[in-house]
Structure 1
Amino acid sequence: MINFEHRFEAKIGKVAKEVIKKSFKGLERERDSDKIGYYNLPKNSSKLVNSLEVFNNENNYLKKDLIRDVVVIGIGGSSLGTKAVFEFLKHNTKTKRKLYFLENVDPIYISETLKRIDKNKALFLVVSKSGTTIETTSIFKYILKKYKFDLNKKSDSQRFVTITDKGSALSKFSDKYSIKQFNIPNNVGGRFSVLSAVGIVPLYLMNIEVKSLLKASENFIESFFNQKQNNILEKAFFYTKIAKRYPINVLFSYSSSFTYFNQWYVQLWAESLGKNDIFGNSVGLTPVHLVGSVDQHSFLQLIIQGPKDKTVTVLKVEDFENKSKIPNIQLDFLDNTNYINGQTFSKLINEECNATFETIVENDIPADLITLDKISASNMGVLISYYELLTSAVGQMLEINTYDQPGVEFGKKKLVKKFKK
């Protein structure tokens, strides 16, 4: 269960109600059209789970339980969402396998990661929506050569799975070499694709509770369109209304388990909302991600006494389901910290969270608090849908195309020119 506590001082008057109503209808049109498909992913991906169960019995290595390393080769939307979910849930997930990500073409990073992987016990997932992502195909080629895989041999081709659009270059390559492929719906963009095969395939292989993840997401989206989550639209209105005064949105998450969820949020928010609007104006909101209590000692000072140009969302876990305590030990010269002796670390981090949130509010900084009752697959499903819906709602109000990324494409074209001179 998740509680959303908004403290924004936004008057929902007549104008606001009209903007919210118009935006909601725009989101309904998106959902009902064939253009934007992420709204239907939780329901549609339930069928994918059935296909994975069949695949698990078809692949010789999986059937014989010989896979110990699952390696995701992908970048951006092809890896961040998967990493966000896995890192959030891994501590209470039972599996003998390890999950690795090859997402950067930094040669040191590639070499150091591959040192930890046993190629004889590995399953490589090549993830690219377009099928031609330069970083992904380059790492894929490197692995083929390094380990001398011959894809004409079934024993080698079964070491790979591809996740891509049907009919893409990677899809055709998979067909040629009889590599198992799972397809991403054409109407689902990379950064919105975590609940498609992009995330569900590796998470299923790592024994994550994907059915709970999907069901919670589906229920939350349904409740939004049944107008039971109006806080999302009100928050989106507030963000767009004060965007020039408060152009920076801070996500301050009080658990290390949120580290990669925060990074997923940054891509979703930045790549979706940093655009030119219908009038040609440059618009957008800048995401900043922090982890408490670590960043109390680095970034909080800027929030409290720096420029008042930030909104803050604090993300909290009520029950860590861990009873570890600070020992009741008296240390010479350190007696001024004895007041915390005997308390749990859970209470310490949550009281730090409460103190931070109260300080932010008392300093008239727009803020809201999202509280999870515990770390669970269902709560992660809700969080993913919450931020995707919020992003789409803000995009509607900014009057932009939330789902393209022309700025990214400019850089890709320049890269091609540099190598084709």
Structure 2
Amino acid sequence: MNSYHLDYPLEVDSDIKNLMANAFGALVHEKEQGVTGYYNLPEESGLIVEEIKKRELDQKFDRIVVIGIGGSSLGTKAVDHFLRYKKVHRPIYFLENPDPVAIRHQFEQIPKENTLFIIVSKSGTTIETISIFKTALAHYKIDLAKDNEQLMVITDIDSPLHLFAQEYGIESFAIPKNVGGRFSVMSAVGIVPLSIAGYDTLGFLEGAKGMFERFFMLHEEHILQKAAFIYKNWQQYSMNVLFSYADELENFNKWYVQLWGESLGKKDPAGNPVGTTPIAHIGSVDQHSFLQLVMEGPKDKTLTFICIENFEEEIAIPDISLPHLAKTDFVNGALFNRLLNEECKATMESVKGQGVPTDKIVLPFINEDSIGELMAYYELLTSLVGAMFGINTYNQPGVELGKQILKTRFMQK
């Protein structure tokens, strides 16, 4: 299990208790009434893992290409990046952004033979995804009738993409109707490519399931307290800064930014804009560029620190004393694991001394269970804050206007 330490100045009085109780009740209602289905994915998706193993889909390909964007790729990419140094036989490539230079370069790196192309789009009409898919068809000269075993689709039942797959006999997996893209990593969206790649997706699901179960048994009250502080103080602390002390968490950071920003940047029932801005950094790299602002700039941020207790890599700093550089010798002989985590502790202590609200999450290891639990934690936290704001956490009306304008611009060409 991951460990969580909250150091927010929150006085849990009767008002806060009522706020937390009401938000908790809202999530119970969501779960029981099927408002959103992500709470049930750890159990439901176990069947997908069994099917993939039974049909030996994880033995048929040398590599996987995921064609998707946003919620259709970020969660999968976060897990893959976190576990990237594990001995997995099949790499995953992600074709996301319609950047012509990046697309051309990636096509040059990926051979057609023994490659599985997975097209992921909940709506089935995501313009970037379908455009890149068309380009892959042309580049690799994929025959939809003869090469259909190299194609797979993950989408909503009866979406245009699902109907397309049916017409050509292409394998398809369904995304539950009540699971939005940014909450879908534990659905087929993440579980299918990660399982085929060879990751322990059952362990990933078990980590998430444990967090969900403990939360609904009221054994994870710290999540409620953190949500309450964010809600009560969001106008003063308008930014949530995540400092992740591991390169392996870089794409998790990006997943967090979408989850938080797209879920909580809304108008409340009175029509007032609400939401805090998510910012994500990698420690210790980014503390050299951002920490000064936190320390002496406006006190409008909360900071979350994530570190990994055991990297399972025993690389020591050599006991070498270099001319003119003796003042760095105090770390000689220490493991890099310790150096990074001590930097995390020192930075956290320094910002706390400036009155910045902080909390800390410690992952015991780099494994599937840890990242599954962490992602479940953030999904719950997001839903709680949304419930406190009284908004629909699971829609994204602000995104649709840009899509409509894009279509209009192309129709006018």
TM-score range, shorter chain: over 0.9
Deviates more, 1:128-137 or 1:95-104: 95-104
Deviation digits for residues 52-86 of structure 1 (CA, Å, limit 9, x no counterpart) = 123435xxxx65x4x22210000000000001011
Deviation digits for residues 284-320 of structure 1 (CA, Å, limit 9, x no counterpart) = 1100001011012111111111111000000011111
Q: Is it true that 1:51 corresponds to 2:44 in the alignment?
A: no
1:263 Cα deviation after fit: 0.4
Q: How does 1:23-172 map to 2 (within 5 A)?
A: 23-56=23-56, 63=59, 65=60, 67-92=61-86, 94-153=87-146, 156-172=147-163
1:95 Cα deviation after fit: 2.3
Query: Tell me, which stretches of 5 or more residues in structure 2 are unaligned?
Result: none
Which among 202, 208, 233 is matched to residue 217 of structure 1? 208
Which among 342, 367, 370 is matched to residue 376 of structure 1? 367
Partner of 2:355: 364
CA RMSD of aligned residues (A): 1.0
Partner of 1:8: 8
Partner of 2:234: 243
TM-score (norm 2): 0.98
Runs (4 or more) in structure 1 with deviation over 4 Å come to: none
Which among 249, 252, 264 is matched to residue 258 of structure 1? 249
Which among 383, 386, 394 is matched to residue 377 of structure 2? 386
Give the aligned length. Answer: 412
1:25 Cα deviation after fit: 0.7
1:120 Cα deviation after fit: 1.1
Deviation digits for residues 244-267 of structure 1 (CA, Å, limit 9, x no counterpart) = 000000000001010000000000
Structure 1: which amino acid aligns with 2:91? Answer: K
Partner of 2:193: 202
Deviation digits for residues 344-377 of structure 1 (CA, Å, limit 9, x no counterpart) = 1111101100100100111100000111111111
Structure 2: which amino acid aligns with 1:86? Answer: D
Give distance in 2, aligned partners of 1:55 and 1:263: 33
Structure 2: which amino acid aligns with 1:108? Answer: V
Partner of 1:410: 401
1:206 Cα deviation after fit: 1.3
Q: Is it true that 1:291 corresponds to 2:282 in the alignment?
A: yes
**Conserved 8 A contact 1:75-1:104:** yes
Partner of 1:337: 328
Paired-residue identity, % = 48
Partner of 1:22: 22
- Secondary structure of the structure 2 residue equivalent to 1:319: coil
1:220 Cα deviation after fit: 1.1
Give distance in 1, aligned partners of 2:394 and 2:136: 32
**Conserved 8 A contact 2:63-2:197:** no
1:336 Cα deviation after fit: 1.3
1:115 Cα deviation after fit: 1.0
Partner of 2:298: 307
1:37 Cα deviation after fit: 0.4
Give distance in 2, aligned partners of 1:321 and 1:96: 20
Partner of 1:270: 261
Structure 2: which amino acid aligns with 1:213? Answer: F
**Conserved 8 A contact 2:303-2:359:** yes
Give distance in 1, aligned partners of 2:376 and 2:136: 35
- Secondary structure of the structure 1 residue equivalent to 2:83: helix
